[in-house]
């Protein structure tokens, strides 16, 4: 299958990423050890190796280190959270859900689990479970609640309830105006309605709040490519690659933009980058 023929799958994954999957949380790779974590010295060392590998984009090495950490301490909270991040990065929602429920059993606070668990459920096509199980209750910190409301909006988008999604995004923006995710989901709604320029404006608002927002750069690349502005698309994908260790989808998408410009060598380099991180996709 050629790269160009695979682009619709990449674009579908990108839209899934924005609307349903990867409103990316700050990676647990950077988190401090959870209070009360009873990890052994060996588990701590393996976890640090996993964090470093994650930041370098070496998912295979991170996975090996996390398995070591969890063999040493099956209830290591930080290892479970980072493992879920890794599984979500590879779009394995079922595995991430299992890991996150283990994290709840390990007494990880609900506030640390609800956002990635919502992503895991959405990735599996379970929007009803998000709406029924993960309530944006008032005990959540304002930014976390706003982001969970955005995931509820993503669930409503998946159910075809755009008006309800828009209302949830209004509520999320009011709860925490500094949070970028409502603007990102607004871009998805606008794009679904055919308003690509307005969607780009919403993404610019998101990037003004969160310049490192991987998904905003990714969708900006997709929209500008659909508009025929291939240099702008290539640049946006490059920003996504530079700003996240989870770079395989942006690398694949930039390969397509480069191929469409006749930049074969650059496209091949991007495919190699994507394949190294997620060979099952490529």
In the predicted structure, residue 136 carries a pLDDT above the cut 90: yes
- Looking at per-residue confidence, does 39 or 168 come out higher? 168
In the predicted structure, residue 233 carries a pLDDT above the cut 90: yes
Tens-digit pLDDT profile for residues 92-131: 999 999 999 999 999 999 999 999 999 999 999 999 999 9
Question: What value does the mean pLDDT take over residues 175-188?
Answer: 96
- Looking at per-residue confidence, does 36 or 134 come out higher? 134
- Identify the burial level of 201 via C-beta atoms within 10 angstroms of its C-beta, where 0-12 means exposed, 13-18 middle and 19 or more buried: middle
pLDDT for 282 equals: 61
* Contact between residue 199 and residue 191 where contact means Cβ atoms under 8 Å apart: yes
Tens-digit pLDDT profile for residues 10-27: 444 444 444 443 455 434
pLDDT band at 42; cut points 50, 70, 90:
confident
Number of H helices, E strands in the chain: 15, 0
Question: What value does the mean pLDDT take over residues 159-185?
Answer: 97
Question: What value does the mean pLDDT take over residues 78-88?
Answer: 95
Tens-digit pLDDT profile for residues 212-221: 999 999 999 9
Non-local CB neighbours of 147 within 8 Å, separated by 6+ positions: 23, 25, 115, 172, 176, 179, 181
How far apart (Å, rounded) are the C-alpha atoms in residues 157 and 240?
24
* Contact between residue 223 and residue 200 where contact means Cβ atoms under 8 Å apart: yes
In the predicted structure, residue 86 carries a pLDDT above the cut 70: yes
* Contact between residue 152 and residue 160 where contact means Cβ atoms under 8 Å apart: no
Task: Tell me which residue has tokens 């994650």.
Answer: 54
How far apart (Å, rounded) are the C-alpha atoms in residues 126 and 261?
38
In the predicted structure, residue 32 carries a pLDDT above the cut 80: no
How far apart (Å, rounded) are the C-alpha atoms in residues 165 and 168?
5
Tens-digit pLDDT profile for residues 238-265: 999 999 888 999 999 999 999 999 999 9
pLDDT for 279 equals: 84
pLDDT band at 29; cut points 50, 70, 90:
very low
pLDDT for 280 equals: 78
How far apart (Å, rounded) are the C-alpha atoms in residues 218 and 234?
10
pLDDT for 281 equals: 75
* Contact between residue 14 and residue 219 where contact means Cβ atoms under 8 Å apart: yes
Tokens representing residue 170 in the block: 């209004």
* Contact between residue 6 and residue 167 where contact means Cβ atoms under 8 Å apart: no
pLDDT for 33 equals: 43
Alpha carbon 8 to its chain's center: 19
- What is the reported pTM? 0.84
Non-local CB neighbours of 42 within 8 Å, separated by 6+ positions: 68, 69, 72
Q: What mean pLDDT is reported for the chain?
A: 88
pLDDT for 22 equals: 41
């Amino acid at each position: 299958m050629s790269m160009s023929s695979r682009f619709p799958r990449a674009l579908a994954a990108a839209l899934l990423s924005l609307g349903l999957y990867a409103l990316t949380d700050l990676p647990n790779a950077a988190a401090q050890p959870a209070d009360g974590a009873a990890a052994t010295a060996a588990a701590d060392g393996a976890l640090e190796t996993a964090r470093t590998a994650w930041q370098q984009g070496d998912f295979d090495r991170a996975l090996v280190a996390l398995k070591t950490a969890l063999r040493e301490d099956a209830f290591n909270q930080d290892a479970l959270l980072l493992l879920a991040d890794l599984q979500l990065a590879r779009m394995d929602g079922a595995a991430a859900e299992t890991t996150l429920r283990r994290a709840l059993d390990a007494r990880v606070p609900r506030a640390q689990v609800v956002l990635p668990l919502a992503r895991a459920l959405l990735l599996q096509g379970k929007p009803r479970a998000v709406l029924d199980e993960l309530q944006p209750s008032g005990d959540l910190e304002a930014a976390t609640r706003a982001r969970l409301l955005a995931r509820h909006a993503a669930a409503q988008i998946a159910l075809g309830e755009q008006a309800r999604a828009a209302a949830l995004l209004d509520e999320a923006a009011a709860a925490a105006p500094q949070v970028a995710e409502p603007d990102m989901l607004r871009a998805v709604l606008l794009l679904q309605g055919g308003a690509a320029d307005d969607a780009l404006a919403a993404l610019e608002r998101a990037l003004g709040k969160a310049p490192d927002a991987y998904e905003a750069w990714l969708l900006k690349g997709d929209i500008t490519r659909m508009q025929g502005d291939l240099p702008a698309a290539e640049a946006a994908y490059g920003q996504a690659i530079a700003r996240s260790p989870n770079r395989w989808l942006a690398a694949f998408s930039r390969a397509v933009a480069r191929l469409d410009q006749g930049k074969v060598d650059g496209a091949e380099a991007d495919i190699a980058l994507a394949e190294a991180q997620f060979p099952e996709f490529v």
